[in-house]
Amino acid sequence: MQKKIQSALISVFYKDGLEPIARKLQELGITIYSTGGTQKFLEDLNIKCVPVESLTTYPSILGGRVKTLHPAVFGGILGRRYEPQDLAEMKEYNIPEIDLVIVDLYPFEETLRTTTEEKLIIEKIDIGGPSMIRAAAKNFNDIVVIAEKDQYPFLEKLLKDQKGETSLEQRKDFAAWAFDVVKRYDTAISNYFNPGTKQVLRYGENPHQKATFYGDLKRFFTQLNGKELSYNNLVDVDAAVQLIHEFRDTKEKVFAIIKHTNVCGISQRKTVKQSWDDALAGDPESAFGGVLVCNGTIDKATADAINEIFFEVLIAPSFNADALEILKTKKNRILLQLQTSNFSLQSPSKALLNGILEQAPDERNYEKWEEVGGRQTTEAEKEDLIFANLVCKHLKSNAIALVKNKQLVGKGCGQTSRIDSLRQAIEKSKQFNFDLHGAVLASDAFFPFNDCVQIAHAAGIEAFIQPGGSVRDKDSVEYCMTNNLAMVMTGMRHFRH
């Protein structure tokens, strides 16, 4: 439904970028209502506007805190043009129809970055602005709402190309953007009033980057020792607890080492000490400066062994007193007791392109267990394949995990080619003297050709797990059948970018 803009209400904090829009509105004969500083700005440009006070019969009062909060303004925004009763009441009370609302909110976040003075910060909490934005967005059937100056170019083009007419779809898109603006604004204010949820970090991913953490770590961890967690610590700790969460129902002990969010060592054994020894053996070089995580109690023997290397963070559900005494000898070493009963996977989100991507957690290991090779997997191979697939799920794509006796013996990750990841994994295994005969391979995505299977087989691997889904799955399957190799297809891809 096309609608022509006849009137506009403009009330903005920052005036930059507003002039060409205001001139275009004037050129199209659109009545402009305005307030305070915005009114003066427009009048200085010889752009005619109607003071909001002429509608409300009240001046701007209380130091500017109240100027638009009035039925004459909100009636003009919220009035439904398709409801005869609304139109009759608007006529009775001399409320004009407002077709365009342009608001730029008080700079609350910018003020936080420049001062800690509470009085100045509180005065930058906009009240009328968010209310007008919400009202106009709610009434998108009749109104165009512009909620921040980043939208000015879109409005200017629309006014120029469509002569002030808008479609219902366009008005609804502006409304969706407006609600997001208000949500972000309210979140910033909420975070200010809930300081326990905001933590300014020493720096970000690199020393020249500022960073802030919004969240409640105490809900998941009790910090027993060490310095404040850094940005990179938090990222790796998140990767570590997501990985150990996979083994929450495992009776044996699992120890893992995380480096730059990738698993560089992991094993599953009867004791914590055995699990640590074999996790470290998988790649002792990469373990330097890593984040360690375990699903069992850290005892003295394990603490003695761990104490021999440099690491950033150790996470476990519990620590023996004598183990803590050993581990606390280095004051900066971060020890976190994980409240496993409180931990649950969150929906991962990522900010990009002036928006936010959100998705469901990557839960479960496999969708199906389809044996498609030249032979069935042995019981030992099946256990290793299940373990390897979980590990592979926590490596950056393209990912390959080589596992033998529930120990990671080689991995390749973050490569642009799956063959490169496989070669990297095989080289890692050779570097630390692992025999790949009897090992299994997990791939986070399908094999588009049979080259990976051939290369792995030449290195001694005889069992594979992969999601399948390639138009050339049969190439890898035929190679396995010809060479009596086991292959499982799971129907579940585990990309991690």
DSSP secondary structure string, 225-287? ESS---HHHHHHHHHHHHHHHTTTT-SSEEEEEEETTEEEEEEEESSHHHHHHHHHHH-TTTT
Cα 36 to Cα 41, 63, 218, 435, distances in angstroms: 9, 11, 46, 78
Residues 6+ apart with CB under 8 A from 24: 156, 159, 160
C-alpha span between 300 and 322 (Å, rounded): 6
138 catalytically annotated: yes
Catalytic residue of the set 149, 198, 245, 260: 260
Sign of the alpha-carbon torsion through 113, 118, 121, 126: positive
Torsion sign across C-alpha atoms 119, 122, 124, 128: negative
Residue 207, SS3? coil
User: Of 24, 124, 138, 300, which one is the catalytic site residue?
Assistant: 138
Amino acid at 236: D
Q: If you write DSSP's letter for every residue of 13-59 in order, what string do you get?
A: S--TT-HHHHHHHHHTT-EEEE-HHHHHHHHHTT---EETHHHHS--
**Residue 252: count of CB within 10 angstroms of its CB:** 16
| CB atoms closer than 10 angstroms to residue 417 | 11
Q: In sequence order, which residues have a C-beta less than 8 Å from that of residue 186 and are 6 or more positions away?
A: 130
Residues 6+ apart with CB under 8 A from 305: 273, 276, 277
Cβ contacts of 351 within 8 Å, gap of 6 or more: 357
Dist. CA 73–CA 95, nearest whole Å: 7
Catalytic annotation present for 382: no
Cα distance between residue 432 and residue 411, in whole Å? 12
* Tokens coding 175: 């409304």
Q: Give the three-state DSSP class for 308.
A: coil
Do 50 and 32 form a contact (C-beta atoms < 8 A)? Answer: yes
Active-site residues, by number, are: 138, 260
